Structure 1
Amino acid sequence: MFAEVIVDIPAAQVNRPFTYEVPENYQFSIDIGMRVEVPFGSRQLMGIVVKFLPKIDPALAGKIRPITRLLDYQSFLNEELIELSYDMTEELQTFHITVLSAMLPSMLKVKYETVFKLLDSAAYQSQLADWRLSSEIFETIPRESLEAKLSAGQIKQLLDAGIIEVEYRVLNQARKKYIETIQLAQPVDVLEEALAGLDGRSHKQRDLLSYLLEHAAELPLASKQVLEATAVSRSTLKTMAEKGWLELAQQEVYRDPLAEQTLHKTQARPLTEEQAAAYQAILPAIENHEPKTFLIEGVTGSGKTEIYLQLMERVRQLGQTAILLVPEIALTPQMVGRVTGRFEKGVAVLHSGLSVAEKYDEWRRIINGDASIVVGARSSIFAPLANIGLIIIDEEHETTYKQSDNPRYHALDVAKWRAKYHQAPLVLASATPSIESRARGEVGNYELLRLTQRVNQRPLPPIEIVDMTQVAVQETLNEFSPRLQAAIQERLAKQEQVVLMLNRRGYASSILCRECGHVMQCPRCDISLTYHKAEHQLKCHYCDYHQGVPSTCPNCQSHYLRTQGMGTQRIAETLQELFPEASVVRMDNDTTRRKGQHRKLLDTFGRGEADILLGTQMIAKGLDFEKVTLVGVINADTSLSIPDFRAGEKTFQLLTQVSGRAGRGEFPGEVIIQTYNPDHYVMQLVKDHNYEGFFYSEMQRRHLTNYPPYYYTSLITVKSKHQGKAMRRIYDIKTQLARPEWLANDQLHILGPSQGAIARINDHYYYQLLLKYKQKDAIHAGVQEVFAKIQEDAKQGVYISIDHNPLQFI
């Protein structure tokens, strides 16, 4: 028996399966998708089994090397995911092992170590008499230990003499969790006699044995739990084990990512007329196994989540499984709470806020069939569920569903592939669908379902646009207009809650010298450093460079330094000055780095222990708090002027989403948006909650400029520490792609070459080409040629990335 294995080297030369013999003792254990250790040249590498071959060409007999060992005894990638990996490798112009690795939980990504294997111990010690082998060293010596004692030349002499040899080892990081448990080792009647025979001095043994006999039906129990309940020491436990009364054992357990979360049981709610219509439209596709795609365009608060829950309930009744994707980690606690509150058991959670070990255990629960519903962020789309009956993508417009580095997949594309494979419906939902999705709904590629009313029949909150150009002329404090300040004060007086959004973290966007105009720049990137007051540091949000704040200008030595711009830190400080009685919770990347902080901050606000929730875009979506009656946007222009054809769309979506956090309960809500561009078409359409008007307006702009959904796009980016090399390579690529047959009849448009929006990041210079084309086949061959030379380019210090349908241009 032979296996085809993709080895763990992301390189063009080995971007294909290699054949290995399966040793006889592994033939009944090995499976598709398992990780194995294989010899590759002089090294041992991790590989993933993608196919079995019953026989091979007789001419190769005796030349095929065997698999060294199995790293797993269960497969983490089923046959469906292996098949998907082939298609993704072809579509995304990437390496097969890169795709397979992206599908695995982090704990299954191996590390490698180099050791020196001792071949001749006597010769080794005779040459190194001053360094005898310690008792810990048997047959191998860690590389670091040997290199600390010997020079490279001495090591080479030992290698040449055959005294030592280099060995490369695969380090498997996968670790299961075990707890110690207690079980009775004798029949109950025997132990009752032993209990009666204990003398008065053995009261601890008496307490422990009495407890175990009382809870005999619940055994085995965790020893930690028993010791806490009886206040008995471990020495007593060991004594009783030595007497043969009880047995101690190690029991494997799953790590529970929801252990600290209080879950509230919920019941299915009666559906409104619009909800019921959407539910009934999707239900036949589940029951008849139709891989249709539905787009729910529902205003904020229209009850989309209840539709998801009732559809998933039907899927479970049919014995099938479901995936629910959410875009932000901040949304996950609330969504997980609703799903687990409805289904209690059988829900797995997968998102970046979990520890590596928790993700590993959740993955194993899915594989073992202990979870039938998966809730999580982008990578959850690879959950190895069998018999999928429904896939849901909440807030489908969000850019976080697109992976920003290799492999640059979009969860929506993967979801479509898996839905087709399982003959299951795919449900997309948003208050502000992406222009591409809404266009597909318009022409019938997706079935469009509309929810125009909130479930509580409350109207959408009125939105007021405040012109900050006028405020800046009249006021010295320009973070808050008098209108927003008065509205916050009014809510605080009524003991209602406020949500404030500013999509920029830090204290100030930069530090400026008032003497010479110098702005503190990152030395590695062409961008200013952001001031973080709490740490008294200047930080680059692109390369993570940071430094202390200088006391004088590095350009002119002036002491006249001042901050300009504003971030969430500064706004939090201003809020405390303006409203000293208010409690403020700040949510941004700086306050939510630690595990579980998202949930803790939201729980604090949800319990009413804070009056104001201040944050970046992570607070704009999905959050549902009944007492929030005011939403304020400090500066609505942060995403409006970025060099991206989707800038208007992203701004409209963000403002609409955050506006939807107001007035979701019994109290009416209000939204105040501060902007320096009050007459911009996006602001006017947001004010009227006019998504339809925005969609048709945006479609006209896209048609005039040949952008999606009328054209596909691909972004080719070249970066290098040598600006000249990067520039030459991007021009070569344009020459290579600008073929007359592709440029004819408007089939292909090439924009650029141009410098990146930020020309230098982390000492690398960026140049890019944007391709716009009607048919994917028109550019596939040319882009494949570019991809084929990626390895060769990398050797020259030039790195090329290919991003199809890019969502980020910086």
Structure 2
Amino acid sequence: MNRVRVLLLNAALGPLDYRVPDGMQVEPGSIVMAPLGPRKMPGVVWEPDSFPVEEIDPKKLRPLLELRDVPPLRAPLRRLIEWTAAYYFASPASVLRMVLSSGAAFADNRPISEYRLNGSVPDRMTPQREQALEKLIGVQGTISELANKAGVSIAVIRGLEKLGVFDREDVSPFAITANPSPDFDTVDLSVDQKNVSKILIDAVRAAQFKPFLLDGVTGSGKTEVYFEAVAEALRQDKQVLVLLPEIALTEPFLDRFHARFGAEPLAWHSGMKQSERKKNWRALADGNAKVIVGARSALFLPYANLGLIIVDEAHETSFKQEDGVRYHARDVAIMRGLHEKIPVILASATPAIESQHQVEQGNYQLLELPARFGGATMPDIEALDLTEDVPPRGSWLAPTLVNALEENLERGEQSLLFLNRRGFAPLTLCRTCGHRIDCPNCTAWMVEHRLTRRLACHHCGHVMPIPEKCPECGDEDSLVACGPGVERICDEVRMLFPQARTAIVTSDTIWSPQKAADFVHQMEAGAIDIVVGTQLVTKGYHFPNLTLVGVVDADIGLEGGDLRAAERSFQQIAQVAGRAGRAEKPGRVYVQTRMPNAPVIQALIKNDREGFYAAEIEARRQALAPPFARWAAIIVSSEDNKEAMETARLIGQTAPKVDGFSVFGPAPAPLAMLRGRHRHRLLVHALRSVDLQQIMREWLEQLEWPRAVRVGVDIDPYSFV
């Protein structure tokens, strides 16, 4: 009898043993359907020695039900799943779920039915039907996707479909892929670019694990350099994965890729339709798709023949997953490269301190591009002291910056104002009683969004109309918006320069790759004079006519007790400054601050990146902070605050006494309530010589807490709220 171990997509159970029925041929990595009670559960056959399970009488083993007709998960991916689960304190099934997230492994090969409005209107209308007809104009998708897009139930969409409101189209489950050509176009590279690209090409040919830190100033042509490595991988008939930090960057990147290779790569991100995800999953699992561009989840896809991984803007904190399996895509990319035995390129103009430390340790090879491409020069950066260069009352832009905007408009050049704060104002309060409008589910202020006439919580998504009177004292016309968001700055720009064509660029306005592409095309066509945006505009964009950047509030990122506050602020401002003067025209950058002598601001205006990083690294070394030691966060949450607090105390009181291992807390989290759950945090500090995960696993596994309490572990945390 053939006995196999199967890792099921059930995080609560773990792997189980099954019997292989006669005539079924399985191997480690085979994707199967297995019985679990009365249900049929998907899973993957695993090596029996990878996960210990309780021995069961062979006669009691239930037979597997079905072997799916898809390529087995390869051994390097299985090893990555094991490593990710062990390192990030997650169940292997939770990691496996990311690999099989599209459902393509369990779908049959029948066409996928998608629907689109045909202009018909039913005789009887309801508010839900009106909402669906309004929101689904120009949208095509499956029944469930349309329901989700319209914000109505599936029953509403099915009812409209029966009334003939939709036309149906049967879409093939297989992606039609055009193979990129490595020699479709050539680019004239500088001497520095040629030298760096040769090293990367040689690494692709060697087909061995080799991590590179591609450190180039903004506008130095890092993309063109790693495109040469992509071209070599294509010549070797290998697959390439390019990770981007934001899906909004995907469409502009696809355009650049198409111009170089004559065809678009496949995309992978949360904004895709389920049918697209299924098709792309099959195409890369079969090896038909050669290049995949995606968000962090693309790391866990089952590539048939992966030959190169590129992490663009590798310093970006959005590569850290903050819920579910709390992994960092930059670090997992390195581990996937190790298991696949292939090179990994981390590209950045402002590398993370952790990456620079790996270079110092000799683990990564540093490749530098110190100058901008084509003779373009780095912009001049000037700090505007808001205590001296004071904006007029009720305004947020200093006179010097306003004058610079006016000059830029007269020259017909484009400007960018950066403020990392969405909406119109971060706080609404009553001028009569002082009441602040808070989110009912979170310890957070409701942010006013004047464009949509709503107050919104940026943590849980709760929205509500702007009240006409104070909810506390009942006074009418007493609510006032406090502080600026990008919408408020844009209003100020429109009052100052009514003739200027403006655009707001945030995740509220650029929510899809197509929206990003529309914005890029408008900028390139000169249809926008002044952009007001958040961190979404700090990376990846190249606008030759953009010559002025104004940072509205450089001090925001320095507030609070975040370990990486100074590093993040430096990276963000340096990145947004790098949008200016990327072609023949020189650029200027003005940084508004009330702390012009802060080390971050001084390093920026003196262009002293090396000095800033050296000071930051030494400060962390003295404090035994990462990367010189390790941290882990324990987050305890419950709808019952007493239960959460008692569980957090239990965890703190039972902390192991081990040299080089310390536990701080518990304490209420800075965001003490999130999505209706009370939250408490503990912080674990461990020296590099200590086995952090093993100690924590032995510690927490022996404890019990109420079922309603959730205890999450965040290894190498980036968020401290």
1:470-517 deviations in Å (ceiling 9; x for gaps): 344x62143211112121222222221112211111111111111222
1:2-41 correspondence to structure 2 within 5 Å: 2-11=3-12, 14-15=13-14, 17-24=15-22, 27-28=24-25, 32-41=28-37
Alignment of 1:450-461 (within 5 A): 450-461=368-379
Which moved further from structure 2: 377-386 or 626-635? Answer: 377-386
Instruction: Indicate conservation of the 8 Å contact 1:33/1:77, yes or no.
Output: yes
Q: Is the 8 A contact 2:656 2:699 kept in 1?
A: no
Which of 480, 487, 504 is residue 404 of structure 2 equivalent to? Answer: 487
Residues 26-425 of structure 1 mapped to structure 2, 5 A cutoff? 27-28=24-25, 32-51=28-47, 60-70=57-67, 72-75=68-71, 77-108=73-104, 176-177=111-112, 252=172, 254=174, 267-345=185-263, 347-425=265-343
Letter in 2 for 1:765: H
Shift of 1:108: 4.5
Distance 1:346 1:539 in 2: 37
Which among 429, 448, 460 is matched to residue 512 of structure 1?
Answer: 429
CA separation in 2, counterparts of 1:594 and 1:447?
35
Q: Is the 2:621–2:628 Cα contact (8 Å) retained in structure 1?
A: yes
Which range is displaced more, 300-309 or 669-678? 669-678
- Report if aligned partners of 2:175, 2:283 keep a CA contact under 8 Å in 1: no
**Separation in structure 2 between the aligned mates of residue 392 and residue 594 of structure 1, nearest angstrom:** 22
Does structure 1 conserve the Cα–Cα contact (< 8 Å) formed by 2:110 and 2:173? no
Note if contact 1:38-1:68 (Cα within 8 Å) is conserved in structure 2.
Answer: yes
Residue segments in structure 1 that go unaligned for 5+ positions in a row: 111-171, 180-248
Q: In structure 2, what is the equivalent of residue 231 of structure 1?
A: none
Aligned residue number for residue 760 of structure 1: 673
After the TM superposition, which residues 653-732 of structure 1 pair with which residues of structure 2 at under 5 Å, given as runs?
653-732=571-650
TM-score normalized by structure 1?
A: 0.77
* C-alpha contact 1:712 1:776 (8 A) present in aligned 2: no
Instruction: Tell me which residue corresponds to 2:685.
Output: 772
CA distance 1:80–1:292, change in 2 (3 Å):
closer
- Distance of aligned partners of 1:343 and 1:89 in 2 relative to their CA distance in 1, 3 Å threshold: same
Deviation per CA, 1:70-104: give whole Å up to 9, x if none: 4x321373332123212222222211210001122
CA distances 1:131-150 after superposition (whole Å, capped 9, x unpaired)? xxxxxxxxxxxxxxxxxxxx
Give the match for residue 788 of structure 1: 701
2: CA distance, partners of 1:469 / 1:256: 59
2:355 alignment counterpart:
437
Deviates more, 1:584-593 or 1:304-313: 584-593
Cα-to-partner distance string for 1:513-549 (whole Å, 9 max, x where unaligned): 1122221111222221111112222111112222222
Q: Deviations over 1:550-599 (max 9, x none)?
A: 22222222332211011122222222222222222222121133562222
CA distance 1:484–1:58, shift in 2 (3 Å): closer
1:575-586 alignment, distance < 5 Å: 575-586=493-504
8 Å contact from structure 1 (residues 255, 357) kept in 2: no
Tell me what 2:155 maps to: none
* Cα deviation digits, residues 710-733 of structure 1 (max 9, x gap): 111111111122222222222222
1:268 is displaced (CA, Å) by 2.3
Cα 1:799/1:669, change in 2 over 3 Å: same
User: Which SS does the other structure have where 1:448 is aligned?
Assistant: strand
Q: CA deviation at 1:398?
A: 0.8
Looking at structure 2, the residues matched to 714 and 365 of structure 1 have their Cα atoms a distance apart, in angstroms, of: 38
Residue 423 to residue 664, structure 1, CA distance change in 2 (3 Å): same
SS at match of 2:633: strand
What is the letter of the counterpart of residue 172 of structure 2? Answer: E
Between the aligned partners of 2:170 and 2:446, the Cα distance in structure 1 is 52
What CA distance in whole angstroms lies between the structure 2 residues aligned with 1:441 and 1:59?
49
Deviation at 1:614? 2.0
Contact 1:497 1:612 in 2 (8 A): yes
CA deviations on 1:176-222 (whole Å, 9 max, x unpaired) are 4489xxxxxxxxxxxxxxxxxxxxxxxxxxxxxxxxxxxxxxxxxxx
1:541 aligns with 2:458: yes
Greater displacement, 74-83 / 638-647: 74-83
Kindly state the Cα deviation for residue 452 of structure 1 after the two structures are TM-superposed: 1.1
User: Offset at 1:607?
Assistant: 2.2
More displaced stretch, 544-553 vs 616-625: 544-553
C-alpha distance in 2, partners of 1:678/1:727? 42
Q: Does 1:554 align with 2:465?
A: no
Report the Cα distance in structure 2 between the residues aligned to 1:102 and 1:251, rounded to whole angstroms: 24
Highest Rg: 1 or 2?
Answer: 1
- Partner residue in 1 for 2:420: 503
In the superposition, relative to structure 1, how do residues 254 and 490 fare at CA in structure 2: closer, same or farther (>3 Å)?
farther
- Per the alignment, residue 720 of structure 2 pairs with 809
Asked if structure 1 preserves the Cα contact closer than 8 Å seen for 2:310 and 2:345, the reply is: yes
The question of whether the paired residues in 2 share the 8 Å contact of 1:32 and 1:75 is answered with no
SS in 2 for 1:393: strand
1:708, 1:558 → 2: CA distance? 50
Pairing partner for 2:709 from 798, 805, 810: 798
Given that 1:3 and 1:21 are in contact with CA atoms closer than 8 Å, whether structure 2 keeps it comes out as: yes
RMSD across aligned positions (CA): 2.8
8 A Cα contact 1:748 1:778, kept in partner: no
How far off is 1:789 after superposition? 5.8
Q: Which moved more, 1:525-534 or 1:2-11?
A: 2-11
CA distance in 1, matches of 2:559, 2:212: 33
Mapped to 2, the partners of 1:314 and 1:107 lie a distance apart of 32
Take 1:250 and 1:644, find their aligned partners in 2: how far apart are those partners? 51
CA distance in 2, matches of 1:537, 1:694: 41
Seen in structure 2, the aligned counterparts of structure 1 residues 769 and 618 have a Cα distance that, compared at 3 Å, is same
In structure 2, relative to structure 1, the CA distance for the partners of 1:256 and 1:551 (3 Å cut) is: farther
- Between the aligned partners of 2:523 and 2:572, the Cα distance in structure 1 is 21
Unaligned runs of 5+ in 2: 115-168
- Displacement, 1:646? 0.4
* 1:659-717, Cα deviation, whole Å (9 max, x unpaired): 00010111111111112222211111111222111111101221222211111111111
Q: 1:688 to 1:410 in 2, by over 3 A?
A: same
Could you tell me which residue of structure 1 aligns to residue 130 of structure 2?
none
1:605 aligns with 2:520: no
Cα distance in 2 for partners of 1:687, 1:176 equals 58
Cα contact 2:251–2:514 (8 A) shared by 1: no
SS of alignment partner, residue 330 of structure 1 = helix
Higher relative contact order (CA 8 A, sep 6+): 2
**Paired residue secondary structure (1:334):** helix
In 2, are the aligned partners of 1:635 and 1:673 still within 8 Å (CA)? yes
The alpha-carbon deviation at position 438 of structure 1 amounts to 0.9
1:751 aligns with 2:701: no
Q: CA deviation at 1:294?
A: 1.4
Bigger drift between 613-622 and 79-88 goes to 79-88
Instruction: Report the identity percentage.
Output: 33
Distance change (3 Å), C-alpha of 1:537 and 1:346 = closer
Distance in 1, matches of 2:221 and 2:109, equals 40
1:93 is paired with a residue whose SS is coil
Supply the AA of the counterpart residue of 1:562.
V
* Distance change (3 Å), C-alpha of 1:443 and 1:6: closer
1:268–1:310 contact (8 Å) kept in structure 2: no
- Taking structure 2 as the reference length, the TM-score comes to 0.86
Q: Which amino acid aligns with 2:684?
A: L
| Counterpart secondary structure, 2:288 | coil
1:469 counterpart SS class: coil
Distance 1:547 1:80, change over 3 A: same
